[in-house]
Amino acid sequence: MDTREFKSSLYKQLAKVTKALSNPHRLEILDLLAQGSFSVEYIAENANMSVANASQHLQVLKKSGLVDTVRDGKYIFYELYDGRVLETWRALRQLGLSRNQEINELLEDYRQRKDQMNLMSSDELFQKLKNNEVYLVDVRPEEEYNLGHIKQAGSLPHKQLKERLQELPTDREIVAYCRGPLCLMADEAVALMRKEGLHATRLENGFADWLAEERPVEITDK
């Protein structure tokens, strides 16, 4: 093999990784796996696809070296291969948000229609938590909350919010967060809380970003 062929082979192998990232369903799966390890059934349910379809996408991600499997008894769980995959996903997402105007227009339009444009940065939330100035709620499913959540956050899954609104304080700002800036559970939760007259804001990023920034987190004992 001459130098040109060798070089082309290297780029071809690298392209397999970028090809795995070129599918929107697989990107959503990476966003979900950034929260922790999950079964294919959980991934399928939360990414709104069939188990067979989710399994196919997971196999592509596994063959590209982006995800791995771990066995717990007779059950198999999928997870990001390592922290570099999370950083790659965060960098790709940030690149898209900074360079793709259509992404920002879609998010802005969605939040305008939800009457929810205020976002809180991680730095601001960190300071407000230190001063006990906000009430923090994690609106992801309880399974994800149990795997890890921002310290001081209470679990209030967005599907339960309507039935549990009376648990929320009326004398403090409420901050809701979910998986990240492309996850809309926190937007929906904030829109509902504001409709009910509560002072609510969503965290700009999500749990995986908070964890990657090495800020305080907790794991719930099962």
Active site residues: 178
Let me know the angle formed at the C-alpha of 145 by 140 and 146, rounded to the nearest 5 degrees. 150
**Based on the number of CB atoms within 10 Å of its own CB, is 185 exposed (0-12), middle (13-18) or buried (19 or more)?**
buried
Q: Where are the beta strands (DSSP E) in the chain?
A: 67-72, 75-80, 119-120, 134-138, 149-150, 154-155, 173-177, 200-203, 217-218
What's the CA gap between 129 and 176, in Å, rounded?
Answer: 13
Beta carbons within 10 angstroms of residue 93's beta carbon = 20
Contact 122, 205 (CB under 8 A): yes
Contact 135, 125 (CB under 8 A): no
Q: Is 151 helix (H, G, I), strand (E, B) or coil?
A: coil
Alpha-carbon dihedral angle through residues 192, 198, 199, 203, given to the nearest 10 degrees = -40
Q: Where are the alpha helices (DSSP H) in 100-201?
A: 101-113, 122-130, 142-147, 161-164, 185-195
φ/ψ region of 214 (left if φ > 0, alpha if ψ in -120 to 50, else beta) reads left
